Amino acid sequence: MHFVDVKGILSAKNGMNVYRGCTHGCIYCDSRSKCYNFTHDFEDIEVKQNALELLEKALSSKRKKCMIGTGAMSDPYMHCEEKLGITRRCLELINKYEFGLAIQTKSDLILRDLELLKSINEKTKCVVQMTLTTYDEELCKVLEPNVCTTKRRFEVLNICRDNGIPTIVWLGPILPFINDTKENIEGILGYCIKANVKGIICFGMGLTLREGNREYFYERLDGHFPGLRMKYHQKYGYAYGINSDNNKELMQLLRSICKQHNILCNPEEVFSYLHKFPETKKYNQMSLFE
């Protein structure tokens, strides 16, 4: 890893990434794409060493409270976070200034900060988002080799549920000829139902491939699924968005099960929930004791 100073930490929509790159090794990762202009190896993590200073300055000067998002581009709980603790200290600042938090990860390291997440949620709102790709544990170890498996992430969702922290699941990517099966989707949705997730984000049963991540993905296909690379080439060419042949059937299954169990699955509705800051929550909590 290497350290840099940056000019700002919050985006226009109040999202942040304190790291760039990732060490989870997911074979399909879109963040490897050349359009993101990495000037270093993807696994050579760029650490924004002045992130805390910038975040405190931003939060202390904001006139209106809002939700702060993190984890969209780089997982905030990569291996280096165990040593550096920058994500944890960011959560401490969000808690201190009483902002909300929408945090996305694949790692059970998030449980280290459970008390902080609970504190944020008690004051305002904290939403934990987990990515679930495949129900098959052995396949998960191939697709996402350097992070905890789906079963463990399901346990994290249950722990959040038991501590009153709402959760969202990102379902995908769904890889044609690999995990685009009814059994896989039913398995993941079964986890979501048991964990009482608030919503599921899924943009379709497929994945995106563009320069940078396409080449990495195909190399991994050669290593783990001999012959599948050619199948992709023949069927999809150099398309950016790739849908499974089972997309229609699996999306109908997703919507049907979500409707039965009152789980949000319209992306616009889920994003609206994630971005909505509970203006009256603290007041309502106080009124209970008056």
Query: Is 189 within the bounds of a domain?
Result: yes
Q: Which strand (E) or helix (H) includes residue 168?
A: strand 167-171
Residues 6+ apart with CB under 8 A from 161: 167, 195, 196
Cis peptide before 145 (omega within 30 of 0): no
Among residues 51, 60, 113, 105, the alpha carbon closest in space to that of 88 is found at 113
**CATH code: domain of residue 150:** 3.20.20.70
Q: Is 182 exposed, middle or buried (0-12, 13-18, 19+ CB in 10 A)?
A: exposed
Place of tokens 């699941």: 169
What's the confidence (pLDDT) of residue 287? 40
> Which band of pLDDT confidence, cut at 50, 70 and 90, is reported for residue 133?
very high
The pLDDT tens digits of the residues spanning 90-117 come to 999 999 999 999 999 999 999 999 999 9
Residue 74 within a domain? yes
- Spatial distance between the Cα atoms of 275 and 66, rounded to a whole number of angstroms: 8
- CA–CA gap between residue 18 and residue 224 (Å, rounded): 32
The pLDDT of residue 279 is 80
Q: Label residue 177 left, alpha or beta by phi (over 0 means left) and psi (-120 to 50 means alpha).
A: left
Chain segment 233-290, per-residue pLDDT in tens = 999 999 999 999 999 999 999 999 999 999 999 999 999 999 999 986 654 444 443 3
Under a CB-based contact definition with an 8 Å cutoff, are residues 189 and 255 in contact?
Answer: no
Q: Are the CB atoms for 212 and 34 separated by under 8 Å?
A: yes
pLDDT (0 to 100) of residue 283:
43
Task: Tell me if 86 is assigned to some domain.
Answer: yes
Q: Which domain holds residue 213?
A: 2-277
> Is 287 contained in some domain?
no
Q: At 131, is the secondary structure helix, strand, or coil?
A: strand
Q: According to the model, what pLDDT value does residue 230 have? A: 96
**206, 245 contact by CB (below 8 A):** no
289 part of a folded domain: no
**Has residue 282 been placed in a domain?**
no
What tokens were used for 251?
């999306």
Question: pLDDT digits over 50-87, tens only?
Answer: 999 999 999 999 999 999 999 998 999 999 999 999 99
In-domain check, residue 288: no
Tell me the per-residue pLDDT of 181-234, one tens digit each, with 9 for 90 and over.
999 999 999 999 999 999 999 999 999 999 999 999 999 999 999 999 999 999
Residues 24/144, Cβ–Cβ less than 8 Å? yes
Quote the pLDDT of residue 151. Answer: 98
Average pLDDT over every residue of 119-132: 98
**Number of domains forming the structure of the chain:** 1
Average pLDDT estimate for 168-189 = 98
- Tokens 């129900």 map to which residue? 135
User: What is the predicted pLDDT for the residue at 281?
Assistant: 61
pLDDT tens profile 140-153: 999 999 999 999 99
Residue 57 domain-assigned? yes
Angle between helices 114-123 and 86-96 (to 10 degrees): 20
